[in-house]
Amino acid sequence: MPDEMARRLILERGDGGARHFEDAVPDPSSPVIGILGTGDFSRSLARRLVASGYQVVVGSRTPTRFVALFPEEAEVTTQLEAANKADLIFVAVYPEHHSTLMDLKQTLAGKTLVDVSNSLSINHKRPSNAELLADYFPGSFVVKGFNTVSAWTLQMGARDGGRQVFLCSNSQTAKNLVKSICHRMGFIPVDMGLLSSSLEIENLPLYLFPSWRLPVLCMLILFIFFYLYNFIRDVLYPFITEHKSAFYKMPIEVVNVTLPSVALVMLALVYLPGLLAAFLQLWSGTKYNRFPNWLDRWLLSRKQLGLCSFLCAVLHAVYSLCLPLRKSAQFKLSNMAYKQDSWVDEEVWRMELYLSVGIMALGLLSLLAVTSLPSVAGTINWREFSFIQSTLGYCALFMATAHTLFYGWNRAFVLARYHFYMPPTFVLVLVLPFMVLLGRAALCLPCVAGRLRKIRRGWERNRHIRFMLPAEDCRNGVENVSNV
How confident is the model over 217-270, as pLDDT tens digits? Answer: 999 999 999 999 999 999 999 999 988 888 989 999 999 999 999 999 999 999
Segment 412-450, tens digit of pLDDT: 888 888 988 899 999 999 999 999 999 999 999 999 999
DSSP string, 157-195: -GGGS--EEEEEES-HHHHHHHHHHHHHHT-EEEE--SG
Return the number of other C-beta atoms located less than 10 Å from residue 258's C-beta.
25
Closest of 309, 215, 306, 216 to residue 260, by C-alpha:
309
Q: What is the pLDDT of residue 325?
A: 82
CA 298 from centroid of its chain's CA atoms: 14
Residue 176 pLDDT greater than 90, yes or no: yes
Q: Which helix (H) or strand (E) holds 466?
A: strand 464-468
* Cα distance between residue 1 and residue 189, in whole Å: 19
Q: What is the pLDDT of residue 2?
A: 45
Q: How many residues does the chain have?
A: 484
Q: What is the pLDDT of residue 478?
A: 38
**What average pLDDT does range 360-375 have in this prediction?**
94
Residue 82 pLDDT greater than 70, yes or no: yes
Residue 475 pLDDT greater than 60, yes or no: no
**What average pLDDT does range 298-306 have in this prediction?**
96
Q: Which helix (H) or strand (E) holds 243?
A: none
Ordered domains of the chain (ranges, CATH): 33-206 (3.40.50.720), 212-457 (1.20.120)
Segment 119-135, tens digit of pLDDT: 889 988 899 999 999 99
In our burial notation (b when 16+ CB lie closer than 10 A, e otherwise), range 440-454 reads beebeeeeeeebbee
Contact by Cβ (8 Å): 187, 163: yes
Distances (CA, A) of 97 to 34, 36, 64, 132, 151: 17, 11, 21, 11, 20
Return the number of other C-beta atoms located less than 10 Å from residue 339's C-beta.
6
Segment 21-44, tens digit of pLDDT: 334 556 667 889 999 999 999 999
Q: What is the pLDDT of residue 155?
A: 81
In the beta sheet, which residues pair with residue 143? 114, 169
